């Protein structure tokens, strides 16, 4: 357990101390700000628009966080350090996954400002200092402290960052109260976090299969694109109702009936694999156990194969 924590901590720090982590974070904040502000201009104070549209950007941004996880270690030879230490493959994979997942958590946390602003916008008469301004300030303080704590490896700073984070979250809860209809925001964030977790797990798997980071990035992005946008587009064009056999069937109509069934089943299977569909459920405040099960099983399967991949390089 301590080993997993140590590896996760190193991974998290590597993202905070390297430019790549900041580039991804900056892009993410820029894109999500655009999708937050755009509906505000049309007098729609809602976070659903943001959650629905930011996915396609995560498809390209998150693989940039995961591409180096194992590929870089293989390239520079640091994998020899891990593999000859008393560390199991499972500990390596879980540690790296938790580290990058924590960084994604910080990325999502840095968008909490939107919720704070929304609460204020929805109830214009409310006092702007609490929770909105306090929350915004606390959120900014958290991120600065967290960065400093990681750079200086300082425990007190880390604790201070944690306190600031709790303050922010308290303010966010009050803001949600002001918003009135707070369910979709909470489940939306949960969905976004879970979906990112799936993306990261798939990215980690891809990174373990190559020593080239570019290949890891491109293949992850391609798979994710397939699982979100492409499937959504395909299922949109496939029939969503069961085919019916004509009343007076001849041979040709049997053939087309069979063909239609194949296409229908294909559409249903694809729909079941489409991450986007489930995310829309989350964004509307629908918490379906099937969605969560799909997400968790995708994560578990990806991590399992990542562990197998590492073990194969050692023992096969």
| Residues near other proteins (CB under 8 A) | 2-3, 6-7, 10, 13-14, 17-18, 76-88, 153, 314-316
**Least distance to other proteins from the beta carbon of 90, Å?**
11
| CB of 39 closer than 8 Å to CB of 49 | yes
> Of 98 and 283, which has the nearer Cβ to other proteins?
98
> Of 275 and 307, which has the nearer Cβ to other proteins?
307
Q: What angle do CA 199, 111, 8 make, to 5 degrees?
A: 50
| Residue 216 CB partners (closer than 8 Å, separation 6+) | 63, 66, 67, 68, 71, 203, 206, 207, 209, 210
**Least distance to other proteins from the beta carbon of 66, Å?**
17
> Of 289 and 316, which has the nearer Cβ to other proteins?
316
> Of 15 and 192, which has the nearer Cβ to other proteins?
15
**Least distance to other proteins from the beta carbon of 58, Å?**
24
- Exposed, middle or buried: residue 49 (CB in 10 Å: 0-12, 13-18, 19+)? middle
The total of other beta-carbon atoms located within 10 Å of residue 194's CB is: 21
**Least distance to other proteins from the beta carbon of 109, Å?**
23
**Least distance to other proteins from the beta carbon of 10, Å?**
5
* Residue 257 to residues 53, 238, 250, Cα–Cα distance (Å): 37, 15, 11
> Of 14 and 198, which has the nearer Cβ to other proteins?
14
């Amino acid at each position: 357990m301590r080993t997993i924590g140590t590896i996760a901590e190193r991974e998290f720090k590597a993202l905070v101390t390297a430019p790549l982590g900041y580039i991804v974070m900056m892009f993410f904040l820029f894109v999500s700000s655009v999708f937050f502000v755009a509906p505000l201009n049309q007098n729609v104070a809602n976070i659903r628009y943001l959650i629905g549209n930011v996915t396609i950007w995560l498809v390209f941004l998150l693989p940039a966080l995961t591409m180096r996880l194992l590929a870089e270690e293989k390239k520079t030879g640091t994998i020899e350090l891990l593999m000859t230490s008393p560390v199991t493959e499972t500990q390596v994979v879980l540690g790296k996954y938790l580290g990058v997942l924590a960084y994604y958590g910080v990325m999502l946390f840095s968008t909490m400002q939107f919720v704070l602003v929304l609460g204020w916008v929805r109830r214009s008469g409310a006092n702007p200092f609490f929770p909105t301004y306090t929350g915004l300030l606390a959120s900014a303080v958290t991120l600065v402290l967290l960065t400093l704590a990681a750079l200086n490896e300082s425990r007190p700073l880390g604790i201070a960052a944690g306190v600031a984070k709790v303050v922010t979250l308290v303010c966010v809860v009050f803001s949600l109260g002001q918003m009135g209809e707070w369910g979709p925001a909470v489940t939306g964030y949960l969905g976004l976090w879970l979906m990112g977790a799936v993306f990261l797990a798939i990215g980690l798997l891809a990174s373990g299969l190559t020593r080239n980071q570019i290949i890891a990035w491109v293949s992850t992005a391609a798979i994710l694109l397939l699982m979100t946008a492409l499937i959504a587009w395909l299922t949109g064009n496939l029939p969503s109702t069961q085919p019916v056999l004509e009343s007076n069937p001849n041979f040709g109509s049997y053939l087309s009936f069979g063909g239609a069934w194949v296409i229908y089943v294909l559409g249903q299977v694809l729909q079941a694999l489409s991450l986007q569909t489930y995310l829309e459920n989350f964004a509307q405040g629908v918490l379906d156990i099937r969605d969560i099960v799909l997400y968790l099983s995708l994560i578990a399967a990806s991590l399992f194969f990542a562990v197998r991949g590492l073990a194969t390089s050692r023992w096969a």
